[in-house]
């Protein structure tokens, strides 16, 4: 009979399987057993810390059950613990975002929203949303609202600083919530979706106090609109997801928005993107555990002591003497004996431990999936680095574009459509990334085509500058300073496509007429219209008046 119990009083915090048939209490009273249990408990704790798991026998960290929240948690563990998954998350974020700004036909509107973006720290917010969407394939954003007034930038026609101010009711903070704490509820045939917060017992109690007027918490009063009670069918579905249907607080749809990866309207969640990487991550985890076990085994050894040779074997007395004195001999760094004594250290072989090729097979497949390449890491016969980088860049641009639409809907449209902002804005702003396009490789043909479009004035200068990661306003400011302070010092010449004054030259303008060249010698050519070329001025003897020559001669 097997007795399984947990004894915490003895310092043991894991189950004990007792196959001895004796009482478990009598075994735990044995000092030797208690010492062994404490040692095993310490070893288990060290193993948990080393592998980052919940148990020394944890083999399912990346094989979660078919539960969306468990998949999200496993995806976060992958970003936290795996070098390839976390590396791809960081590098894609770095390539996707250099900066953000708002643009509008009305410069006052774009100025106002750009100052608002600086107040909200949208550069940081957009990256947090990107990281959450990378892990969970969704991001839940909550906002607080209030009035903001900004002084518009620029100069008046007289060259003075503008004093015009613009006020509006806008978001004052943006927070990315924990996706594993929010559940979409109330769905139906028309996909009427509401978001509910999986509250703790304390949060339910605090909300009840706010509702009864016993507690003042404006944030909770604004974000939660009431408790949600699902019907019987939805309650069963929520319980299968591990959600307690008795602790759901509906969130204000005007303040909380959800952005997801591509999904069907009838689906409650989008598929977790990293779910397809879990089998590879599980294999990699087991491979690392096997190599770790080999390294731990290699750190131990068996000491083999041999006495005698084939021609002169050891006598029984010598072996007995060696056996009795081994404990002493092993602790002494100097051993005195004849040539018949040999000592060998036996350790497990580690020839295939930490073999790079074994890890490269898994890591390459992980990178292919995470970067959304079309083929394997070795590539096809017709595949180059340019084509691979183009596919990766398009996939990143697709994710970034959908995030742009979400930001425009949650902030720009919400501000313009708010009743308190009626008549404040005449134009709608657009959310713009810099660089406008994600480029992971250099394509000379594409750059030549873009420069040709700029030469023909089919695209703007700002588009060209954004393509190489430059800001037009910053470059214009630097050019003004350079023109006023340094052009004369360095003798800056006009660049191709510019006139002597530094202004661009219209390529479609007719060529300017140049004056005829001045002829300076008899061999310099005929004058315009024909005729005899003039004589060389150096060879012409100046004529003097006749009277003067007579006086000179006399």
Distance of CA 476 to the CA centre of its chain: 31
Which two three-digit tokens encode residue 333? 């760094």
Domain chopping of the chain, boundaries: 3-51, 68-74+123-278, 301-346
Kindly state the percentage of the chain with pLDDT values over 90. Answer: 32
Q: Calculate the alpha carbon distances from 32 to 27, 39, 40 in Å.
A: 9, 11, 12
User: In this predicted structure, what is the pLDDT of residue 503?
Assistant: 59
CA Rg value for the chain: 40
Q: Which of 515, 511, 513, 534 is nearest to 523 (CA)?
A: 534
User: In this predicted structure, what is the pLDDT of residue 69?
Assistant: 93
Q: Please tell me the distance from the alpha carbon of residue 242 to that of residue 246, in angstroms, as a whole number.
A: 12
Which has more confidence, 47 or 222? 222
The model's pLDDT over 496-518, given as tens digits with 9 standing for 90+, comes to: 555 555 556 666 666 655 555 45
State mean pLDDT over 311-332: 76
The 3 state secondary structure assigned to 459-495 is CCHHHHHHHCCCCHHHHHHHHHHHHHHCHHHHCCCCC
Which has more confidence, 488 or 331? 488
User: In this predicted structure, what is the pLDDT of residue 548?
Assistant: 45
Contacts of 65 (CB under 8 A, 6+ apart): none
User: In this predicted structure, what is the pLDDT of residue 502?
Assistant: 53
- By the 8 A CB rule, do 251 and 196 touch? yes
User: In this predicted structure, what is the pLDDT of residue 166?
Assistant: 93
- By the 8 A CB rule, do 241 and 68 touch? yes
Which helix (H) or strand (E) segment is 394 a member of? helix 385-407
The 3 state secondary structure assigned to 514-544 is CCCCCCCCCCCCCCCCCCCCCCCHHHCCCCC
Q: Is 1 exposed, middle or buried (0-12, 13-18, 19+ CB in 10 A)?
A: exposed
The 3 state secondary structure assigned to 94-122 is HHHCCEEEEECCCHHHHHHHHHHHHHHCH
User: In this predicted structure, what is the pLDDT of residue 521?
Assistant: 45
Q: Please tell me the distance from the alpha carbon of residue 433 to that of residue 102, in angstroms, as a whole number.
A: 9
State mean pLDDT over 520-528: 48
- By the 8 A CB rule, do 76 and 135 touch? yes
Q: Global pTM?
A: 0.69
Q: Please tell me the distance from the alpha carbon of residue 440 to that of residue 379, in angstroms, as a whole number.
A: 17
State mean pLDDT over 326-334: 66
pLDDT at 329 over 70: no
The 3 state secondary structure assigned to 400-452 is HHHHHHHHHHHHHHHHHHCHHHCCCCCCCCEEEEECCCCCCCCCHHHHHHHHH
Q: Please tell me the distance from the alpha carbon of residue 373 to that of residue 394, in angstroms, as a whole number.
A: 10
Kindly state the percentage of the chain with pLDDT values over 70. Answer: 73
User: In this predicted structure, what is the pLDDT of residue 553?
Assistant: 42
Task: Name the pLDDT band for 301 (thresholds 50, 70, 90).
Answer: confident
Which has more confidence, 328 or 230? 230
pLDDT at 207 over 60: yes
- By the 8 A CB rule, do 182 and 431 touch? no
The 3 state secondary structure assigned to 229-248 is CCCHHHHHHHHHCCCCCCCE
pLDDT at 43 over 70: no
The model's pLDDT over 69-123, given as tens digits with 9 standing for 90+, comes to: 999 999 999 999 999 999 999 999 998 998 899 988 888 999 999 999 999 999 9
The model's pLDDT over 340-384, given as tens digits with 9 standing for 90+, comes to: 778 777 777 777 788 888 899 999 889 888 887 655 544 455 556
The model's pLDDT over 457-499, given as tens digits with 9 standing for 90+, comes to: 888 888 878 777 677 777 887 788 788 877 777 765 555 555 5
User: In this predicted structure, what is the pLDDT of residue 524?
Assistant: 46
């Amino acid at each position: 009979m097997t007795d399984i119990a947990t004894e915490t009083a003895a310092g043991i915090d894991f189950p004990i399987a007792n196959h001895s048939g004796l009482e478990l209490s009598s075994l735990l009273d044995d000092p030797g057993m208690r010492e062994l249990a404490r040692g095993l408990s310490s070893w288990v704790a060290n193993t948990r810390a080393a592998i980052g798991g919940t148990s020394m026998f944890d083999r399912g960290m990346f094989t979660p059950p078919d539960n969306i929240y468990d998949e999200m948690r496993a995806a976060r563990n992958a970003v936290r613990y795996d070098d390839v998954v976390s590396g791809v998350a960081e590098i894609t974020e770095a390539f996707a975002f250099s900066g953000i700004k708002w643009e509008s036909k009305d410069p006052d509107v774009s100025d106002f929203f750009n100052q608002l973006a600086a107040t909200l720290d949208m550069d940081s917010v957009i990256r947090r949303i990107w990281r959450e969407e990378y892990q969970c394939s969704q991001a839940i954003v909550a906002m607080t609202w209030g009035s903001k007034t900004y002084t518009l930038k620029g100069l008046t026609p007289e060259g003075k600083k503008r004093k015009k101010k613009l006020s509006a009711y806008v978001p004052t903070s943006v927070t990315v919530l924990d996706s594993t704490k929010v559940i979409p509820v109330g769905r139906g045939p028309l996909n009427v979706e509401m978001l509910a917060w999986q509250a703790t017992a304390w949060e339910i109690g605090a909300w009840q106090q706010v509702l009864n007027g016993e507690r003042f918490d404006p944030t909770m009063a604004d974000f939660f609109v009431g408790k949600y009670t699902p019907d019987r069918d939805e309650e069963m579905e929520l319980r299968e997801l591990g959600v307690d249907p008795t602790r759901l607080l509906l969130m204000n749809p005007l303040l909380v928005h959800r952005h997801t990866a591509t999904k069907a309207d009838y689906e409650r969640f989008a598929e977790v993107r990293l779910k397809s990487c879990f089998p590879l991550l599980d294999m990699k985890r087991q491979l690392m555990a096997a190599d770790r076990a080999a390294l731990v085994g290699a750190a131990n050894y068996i000491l083999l002591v041999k006495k005698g040779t084939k021609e002169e074997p050891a006598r029984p007395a010598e072996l007995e003497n060696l056996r009795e004195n081994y404990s002493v001999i092993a602790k002494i760094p100097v051993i005195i004996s004849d040539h018949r004594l040999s000592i060998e250290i036996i350790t497990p072989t580690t020839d295939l431990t930490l073999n790079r090729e074994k890890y490269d097979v898994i890591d390459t497949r992980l990178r292919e999936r995470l970067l959304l390449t079309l083929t394997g890491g070795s590539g096809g016969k017709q595949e180059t680095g340019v084509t691979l980088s183009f596919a990766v860049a398009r996939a990143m641009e697709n994710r970034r574009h959908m995030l742009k639409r979400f930001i425009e809907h949650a902030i720009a449209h919400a501000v313009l459509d708010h009743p308190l902002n009626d008549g404040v804005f005449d134009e709608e702003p657009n959310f713009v990334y810099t660089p406008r396009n994600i480029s992971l490789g250099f394509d000379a043909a594409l750059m030549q085509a873009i420069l040709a479009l700029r030469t023909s004035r089919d695209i703007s200068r700002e588009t060209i500058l954004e393509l190489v990661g430059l800001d037009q306003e910053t470059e214009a400011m630097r050019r003004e300073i350079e023109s006023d302070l340094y052009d004369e010092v360095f003798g800056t010449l006009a660049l191709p496509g510019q006139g002597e004054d530094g202004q661009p030259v219209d390529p479609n303008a007719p060529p300017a007429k140049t004056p005829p060249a001045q002829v300076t010698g008899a061999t310099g050519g005929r004058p315009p219209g024909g005729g005899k070329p003039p004589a060389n001025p150096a060879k012409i003897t100046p004529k003097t008046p006749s009277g003067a020559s007579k006086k000179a001669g006399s």
